[in-house]
Amino acid sequence: MVITIDVREFASRIDEALELVGSGNEVILSDGKNPIARIVPCRGASPRVPGLHIGAIEPSPDFDAPLPDEFWAGDP
């Protein structure tokens, strides 16, 4: 289902709009009769999996070494 809400009403109806989107509906924000934005549910987002690419990135052995004074002074 597609629901249209005027942008002037959106601030007072944001809870309603988010509930509609959360239940799978689409909300169109309009300025009068002109649609200007669409709010849709997030689909297909997969959760992050820790350890999925172990070994893909190796930090430099000195990654935690102090930075030189030139860095802090802003010298190129």
- Give the mean model confidence (pLDDT) for residues 26-52: 90
- What's residue 47's pLDDT? 81
* Domain ranges for the chain: 1-41
Q: Is 72 helix (H, G, I), strand (E, B) or coil?
A: helix
Looking at residue 75, what is its pLDDT? 66
Question: Against a cut of 0.85, is the pTM above it?
Answer: no
The CATH topology of domain 1-41 is YefM-like fold (3.40.1620)
| pLDDT at position 27 over 90 | yes
pLDDT classification of 72: cutoffs 50, 70, 90? confident
User: How does pLDDT run across 45-65, given as a tens digit for each residue?
Assistant: 678 888 888 889 888 999 999
